[in-house]
Structure 1
Amino acid sequence: MHRVIGERDLSETALNAEAARELLRDMIRAREFDERALALQRRGWMSGYPPYKGQEGSQVGAAHAMLEDDWLFPTYRSNAMQLARGVPASDILLFRRGHAEFTSGHDVPNFPQAVPIASQIPHAVGAGMAMNYERAVQESSDDDAVVCYFGDGATSEGDFHEGMNFAGVFDAPVVFLCENNNWAISLPREKQTASESIAVKAEAYGFEGVQVDGNDPVAVYETVADALEDARAGEPVLVESLTYRQGAHTTSDDPERYRPDEEDLPEWRTADPLERFESYLREQDAVDDGFVEECWDDAETELDDAIDAAEDVGEPDVDELFDYVYAERTPRLDDQKATLEEWLETHDLQEQEF
């Protein structure tokens, strides 16, 4: 595992001071988004939300390691990673309000969030294989790669096995980024798998698996950057980022019902990554009070503007349920749409008592 933060001077890492400051800035943006989104959900602004507090270092570090044209295949808890990649905060908020995911029409190469567990893994591998085919047919020198982000619970799904197997056999340029926060909803990692780690699972598919301190954004950056370099050369990599979910699985979850107050985990894994990284950069004389305050002010303004933009869009149209499933609607979707429209015509939802 890459050395944990504090054991190296910043000058000994792959990042200079400016790049490290940008990491901190995006972690602060991510924390502000998470806290504001959670508060909005609690007041009924959106129906549900999956908080990620405690995982900002893992996601932001990985996002900064990606090149501009690399594709991200995210899951539903990847908002910090998407923000750091350039997805507008208003787009993510609108998605949670029932709108199509890419309302602004941004051109960040991100696949839509996968809410079904692990379904994005075969998609990511397919995209990587398509990149290989395109290079071969067009004799292209493009070296795009894919990062597939998922949680430790996804490794218990068949899609994980199928995707890893295809990637190993066909040398797909994919980095599998498993963010292990120790809990798949209410199930601890040791109840999911008897293997020594998640990273070791890669050996069965013929490629490398590595672990990294997920609360150290610099170590995550270095690890994912190295993994992407290998992936571009036709060697997929599984990165297990060890982090910790500080809050609930989603806003419909109560972790106090299943998670003990004192877990048998090291302090580096349960410590707040934002506080830890800020302290480290202060010790390295890379940031001061003025910079940190500016980051928080900018993040607050960004979220204010994003919320206003989302509220200006209004309620989503019912047609959006059907229009973005496939490139073109299928006969079955047309039938479903007609059934819903008939139901809506005979039910005045405003007069219903719930």
Structure 2
Amino acid sequence: MDDEVAVRLAIALAELPAEAADAVTGYRNRSFSDEQWVLVADLVRLGMAVGWPAGVRRGGGNIGWALGLHARVHLLLGTNRTVAGWYGPDAVATTLAGGHVGRGPDAFTLPPQFASAWNARLRTIGRVLVPSTPPPARKFTAGEPAAPLTAAELEEVLDFCAGHRSPRFGGRVGERLARMVWLICGTGARNEDLVTVVDGKPVHVTGEAVTRTPAAAVFTTAGPSPRRIPVLAACEAAVLDAAAAAGERPLLERLPRSTRITDRAIDSSGWAAEQRFTLNALRLRHTWLAAVLAGGVPYPALLRAAGIGGERILASLTARLPALDDAAYEAALRCGTGPLPTAGQLLLPGLTHPAPRPPLREQP
């Protein structure tokens, strides 16, 4: 065992700059007694040498501290002190699982932030030292910060809006969040599309930004280069009623001094991501994107509505595609289908009509 670890450590040190190798060789973790350190020193230094930050000649940040915690876990558990036993997939997964380890005076609890801060580094060290370790499975799920909302999640958000009442403002906090949800899910509007700064003061879009044409309801964005975005049919009635109620006032009221209105609308509503799931403007925008892509919206219309035009490649492609007149553009964007609710009678707070429902094909 000692020979294997010593050989692997010598190889790893030889690949480091001299100053970094000296720093690893001289490292001593003071949280261990002398007797404990004799048992784990070379294994800790091996992990440090393999995981040493690229381009850093000395120091290495907190990698010694992190690998010291990893070593403490497996010393208490009596893990076989081999390279595979110490840094194999089971050993790394055990450390990342966290919680209380051991019994008696040596027992301790891993810091709760350890797993999130060191997940990637520990797994990388493990794969270098034990090549047979499979990479962690990566799944793009609705729990990720930028994933589109599923039908069930969007229903939960709107139910939350309908039931949320502020002691000071009554149902207005929930109503504001609901208006934002419908508007972004219906148009993909970004924060900069909802507020602009004039003479140092934020100017918010008003209810008058939403108009009717023969082909669609259309939202006109804020800013020096406004663009017209047709509202998805599924969100049309809610957005039109919210605009009518706002009139000349800001569409998302009671945020007069804020420029980050999407964040403020979510934060002020009391939405607790740790108790439910992540809700942010990007997820709402991606929900709109999923809907229009599922509906087969023409590429030029999607770029125009999404406000993607600054990239030279995309601009070059768009210039070579057939142009759409306004009526075709509005009709195409209005008819997208995607992961929006299909069941229930959710109400926009303060309004009396049931929220509209599109046909749904749940995303795989």
Q: TM-score, normalised by structure 2?
A: 0.20
User: Considering only CA atoms, is the larger Rg found in Structure 1 or Structure 2?
Assistant: 2
The structure with higher relative contact order (CA 8 Å, sep 6+) is: 1
Q: TM-score, normalised by structure 1?
A: 0.20
